[in-house]
């Protein structure tokens, strides 16, 4: 594949990692939702570009899902949920933002070193995409671990899933990518809407997970 195609793919993949860092930086919930919408759009651009250069039209469906479902529907839905539940809108972190970002850089470095070493035989684009995808995955995991608010944990999980879709589309010719992304989206939709809206709403005033800790059954 020629240089320009690769450069643009590199641009989008790098942009995805950058937006993951931007999500780690946020300390307000609405801003986080907006940045997540941006994350979904960058993913859609990346997948769309892959569909174009790999000549794989079924990936356009994944692009559509990314834009519509993750870029629009989920941020809007979470926005409404936050408003109706009156959730505390500042994000409390377990460690400060500074150490979190440093940890994030460490994770990105590690994932690049590991993936580049391991995928020596694969083609350039796949190698780069899996390295970036693992970085986005680990950054999403970091976000889930260092946040106390349930909404930001869900956002972390969604960004982690975006990384996986990046990896799946980077692997040339992988079948069932569309099915897998649909399956993941269904999982998230059910969980977010089902558990969140109808169940937690009736029980909690805050979605701060320390409140949930009171009901940990571990001591039984």
CB 17 within 8 Å of CB 136? yes
Residue that is written with structure tokens 């070193």 in the block: 113
Cα–Cα distance between 12 and 119 in angstroms, integer?
20
Instruction: Return the biggest CA–CA distance within the chain.
Output: 62
Provide, rounded to whole angstroms, the least separation between the CB of residue 76 and other proteins: 22
Q: Which is nearer to other proteins, 85 or 122 (CB)?
A: 122
Decide if residue 210 touches other proteins (CB under 8 A): no
Site for other proteins in 86-115 (CB under 8 A): 97-98, 101, 104-105, 108-109, 112, 114-115
CB within 8 A of 180, min separation 6: which ones?
A: 168
Q: Which is nearer to other proteins, 90 or 220 (CB)?
A: 220
Provide, rounded to whole angstroms, the least separation between the CB of residue 145 and other proteins: 10
Cα–Cα distance between 78 and 152 in angstroms, integer?
10
Mask 41-60, x = binds other proteins (CB under 8 A)?
--------------------
- Cβ atoms within 10 A of the Cβ of 44, count? 23
Mask 135-174, x = binds other proteins (CB under 8 A)?
--x---x--x-----x--x---x--xx--x--xx--xxxx
Among 76, 94, 195, 205, indicate the residue that binds other proteins (CB under 8 A).
195
Decide if residue 85 touches other proteins (CB under 8 A): no
Decide if residue 122 touches other proteins (CB under 8 A): yes
Provide, rounded to whole angstroms, the least separation between the CB of residue 148 and other proteins: 13
Provide, rounded to whole angstroms, the least separation between the CB of residue 83 and other proteins: 21
Residue that is written with structure tokens 């029980």 in the block: 203
Decide if residue 133 touches other proteins (CB under 8 A): yes
In the numeric block, which tokens belong to residue 80?
């409404």
CB 143 within 8 Å of CB 156? yes
Q: Which long-range contacts (CB under 8 A, 24 or more apart) does 57-63 make?
A: 58/177, 58/178, 59/169, 59/177, 59/178, 61/178, 62/165, 62/169, 62/177, 62/178, 62/181
Decide if residue 26 touches other proteins (CB under 8 A): no
């Amino acid at each position: 594949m020629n240089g320009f195609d690769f450069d643009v793919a590199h641009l989008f993949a790098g942009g995805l990692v950058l937006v993951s860092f931007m999500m780690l930086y946020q300390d307000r919930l609405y801003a986080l939702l907006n940045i997540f919408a941006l994350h979904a759009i960058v993913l859609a651009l990346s997948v769309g570009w892959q569909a174009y250069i790999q000549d794989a039209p079924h990936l356009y469906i994944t692009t559509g899902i990314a834009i519509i479902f993750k870029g629009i529907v989920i941020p809007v839905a979470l926005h409404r949920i936050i408003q109706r539940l009156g959730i505390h809108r500042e994000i409390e972190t377990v460690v400060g933002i500074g150490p979190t970002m440093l940890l994030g850089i460490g994770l990105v470095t590690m994932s690049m070193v590991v993936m580049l070493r391991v995928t020596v035989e694969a083609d350039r684009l796949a190698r780069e995409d899996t390295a970036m995808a693992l970085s986005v995955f680990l950054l999403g995991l970091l976000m889930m671990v260092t946040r106390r608010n349930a909404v930001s944990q869900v956002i972390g999980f969604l960004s982690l899933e975006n990384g996986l879709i990046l990896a799946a589309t980077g692997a040339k010719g992988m079948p069932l990518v569309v099915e897998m992304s649909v399956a993941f989206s269904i999982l998230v939709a059910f969980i977010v809407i089902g558990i969140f809206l109808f169940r937690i709403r009736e029980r909690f005033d805050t979605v701060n997970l320390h409140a949930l800790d009171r009901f940990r059954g571990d001591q039984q």
